Structures are given as structure tokens and as C-alpha cells.
Amino acid sequence: MLFVSTFLWMALPYNTGPDMTIQKWVGAIRMLLPDSHKPSPDEIIFIDVSKSRYLVPLDADSVENDVVVNRKYLAELFDFLAANHNQVRYVLCDVIFDISTPDDSSLIQSVAGLQEKFLSIDVYAGNSLNKNRLGVRSATASINLHKGAVYKIPYFGMFGEPLTPFKMYMDLDKGDIRKNVLFSLFSGKGISFNSQINNYPLRSSDFTEGAYIRVGLGELVSTGKLSPEIFDLFLKNRYILIGDFENDLHSTYLNKQPGTLILFNAYLHLHYNRHILSIWYLVLLYFFIYWIVWIQTGKKKKKLIFKLKIKYFKPFKFTVNILSVSLLLMIFSYVSSLLFDVNISIFHLIIIFTLMDRVNFILKKRIKKEQRNP
């Protein structure tokens, strides 16, 4: 039952505070270790739109205006990519096209030249899906938050549509999936949970302190009006990530990251098959749960006593339950991530054990009461 509940829990958008805390420390350790799956700097460029904006009148009298990303610049950039035979890996345009502008027709025409190498985003508004006004290729970028932070990322949205990372996986890796209530079956790969807790090999600091390139949209377009040298140096055979590096920031279990990088890291997690559960991992997970159930139900305990001696004070004694379920769940989270590349939310078991103990306590109390009052 608990083994199945783990798969059901991973399919839900909820999680617990301990899960977030432990995953943060697991992620912090991963940041200190070399990551062979991290893309090299010559594979990616981040085009920042935070300062490339213009005013768009909201009414005929131009009394009110809104500020949107400069679509004329975007159209020029996409025309430039098409003129160079689309020799790029992919264009993720993390820009919301929710307002009409005079440059829309030229932008739509320029996007058409990129074909399936282009993806923009849609977002939820309440309980509805707001598709982009331009009608260009898009996928949903809205993700459920836990206490304002991104944690679990499913493959599909609330209306059954593929979310942005999975849509990129379909486009670039030709991935196929069959999903049921417990798990997802990836064709030719294996099974996974119905959501992923992805790693963050690519972070904002890589573009501010490292060797990864970040350039403003206006700066790129105006540099020699996109000369051929610019394409070869900065765009050819790269993932082109277009987003707001300064303002579109979201909390993760690690820290705040631009939304564009959160989406792209979730794609990388799929691309490198880090979501796939090996048979050995499933066997380990099953026997681990079996073990902690044996410990919990049998109340198997062994205590160690540590003495802390401080000068001028009496010794302090500390008792430590070395078979603490919480400690074991913590250790398993580390083993799962560092050895099997699987980030798992597993502290729901504590909630279940607590409820079981509570029910058991009530039943015993009722039995004693009935015995006293036959």
C-alpha cells in the first residue's frame, strides 16, 4: 500500500516541508559535484528581453498603454535565423503574447520560418488556459507551486495538454508516453513517476558569473544588424532561450531562478533520462519501504547515548534513535538522488505513519473503555 501511495503522491502537486528542505540540501551537494550532463557554454545562449520593450496603446485615444516585449526585434531575430537555414537546435521563446501589436503580422511570418524548432508559451488564468494571441506554436508554462515555489513538474497540464518541458522533449527527442494514474511509460525508455523533481545544472549564476552567454535582445539585433558573423559566433547550433532574466524570477527548492531556466532544466532532466526508474531502483524502493514498515509497526528501536562534557558544567546526555524513520527517509532521499539520479518526495510516509498511530491509539482507548464498561 505504501509503495503504491508513493507513486500516487508523486503524481499530486502537493508535498511536505521536510521534502523541500531535504531536496534543497541534496541539490546543494549536487551543485558541488561535477555534472557530466551540464550543457557546455557553446550550446546555449540566453537572450534577455527585460530591457527590450515598448508601449502599446490599449485604446484608440492612446490614453492607456501597456508595456510588452519589442516584437519588431523578435521578428528581426527570427527572420535572421531563418535566413541562416534554421541552423539552431531550438528556440524557446518564454514570452507571453497576450496583447495585439502592429508588429504581429511580421512576427507571425518570421516564426513560420522556424517551423518545429520554435516554441512559445501559454499560461493559465484561473481555471482556464490563455492561448497566445498570435496562434504560433506554444505549450503551457504554468506549473503548480508549493508555498510559492516550483517543486514537482508534471508532464501534462490540467486540461491534458503537454507542458513546455515535455513538449520540447516531444519535439527534440521524439519522446512518446503512455500515462495512467500510477506512472508514466516512456516508449523505449521505461517508467517514471507522473511528475519530476528536476535538477538545476544550469543556473542564473552561470550567465552572470560563468562562461555562459547572456545578451539583451535589442543589443543583439542592433549589433551590425545581425551580421553573418553574429550567427556563427553566438547562435549557430545552440539552444536559444528567450526570456526575462531580471523580472521573471521564481522560487525553486534551491533558490530563485528565471522561469526560462526552470523550464529548460526540466527539459534537460527528460533529455538525459533522469526521470526513468530502473528496475534496481524500484526493487530498492520496495524493500526500503518494507524495512521502515517493519521498523515502524514493530517499534524496533535501539538507542545510543552520547555524552557532551563542557568545562564547569555537568555532562549532558543525548539519546539518539539510530533507526529513526525520519532519518532513514532523509538518507534514502540522498541515495536516490546521488546514486540513481531520481529526486523523490517521500516524507508523506511520516504523515501516513502518524495517522496510523493516531487511529491505533483511538482504537486501543475504545477497547479499554469497552472492557471497563461491559
Beta bridge partners of 305: 319
Count of Cβ atoms closer than 10 Å to residue 323 Cβ? 16
Beta bridge partners of 242: 47, 93
Weakest-pLDDT range from 75-84, 129-138, 159-168, 321-330? 321-330
Buried b (16+ CB within 10 A) or exposed e, 295-319: ebeeeeeeeeeeeeeeeeeeeeeee
Q: What are phi and psi of 311, to 5 degrees?
A: -55, 135
Closest CA to 164 of 152, 174, 154: 154
Strands 303-308 and 177-179, sheet pairing:
unpaired
Average pLDDT of the segment spanning 234-240 = 95
Give the whole-angstrom CA distance, residue 244 versus residue 69.
9
**How much is the pLDDT for 318?**
47
**How much is the pLDDT for 229?**
86
**How much is the pLDDT for 320?**
47
Q: Which residues contact 370 (CB under 8 A, 6 or more apart)?
A: none
Mean pLDDT of the chain: 87
Cell readout for 77 is 531575430
- Asked if pLDDT for residue 351 goes beyond 80, the answer is yes
Instruction: Give the residue carrying C-alpha cell 514493530.
Output: 298
**How much is the pLDDT for 317?**
54
**How much is the pLDDT for 311?**
60
Q: Give the predicted TM-score (pTM) of the model.
A: 0.88
> Hey, where are the domains in the chain?
35-271, 279-341+344-372
Instruction: Give the residue carrying C-alpha cell 479499554.
Output: 368
Residue 310: which H helix or E strand, with range?
A: none
Of all residues in the chain, what percent carry a pLDDT higher than 90? 55
More confident residue, 106 or 318: 106
Q: What is the pLDDT of residues 157-209, one digit of tens each?
A: 989 999 999 999 999 999 889 999 999 999 999 999 999 999 999 999 999 98
Average pLDDT of the segment spanning 236-254 = 94
- Cα diameter, the chain: 94
pLDDT tier at 303, thresholds 50, 70, 90: low
pLDDT tier at 374, thresholds 50, 70, 90: low
Looking at 33-129, list the stretches that DSSP marks H as alpha helix, in order from N- to C-terminal side: 71-83, 104-112
Average pLDDT of the segment spanning 129-133 = 90
**How much is the pLDDT for 322?**
47
Count of Cβ atoms closer than 10 Å to residue 338 Cβ? 13
pLDDT tier at 17, thresholds 50, 70, 90: confident
Coil, helix or strand at residue 268: helix
Is the separation of the CB atoms in 285 and 294 below 8 Å?
no
Query: What is the separation, in whole angstroms, between the first and last Cα of the chain?
Result: 35
Strands 190-192 and 153-154, sheet pairing:
unpaired
Average pLDDT of the segment spanning 105-123 = 93
Coil, helix or strand at residue 282: helix
Handedness of CA 247, 251, 256, 262 (dihedral sign): negative
What is the signed CA dihedral for 189, 154, 120, 239, rounded to 10 degrees?
-50
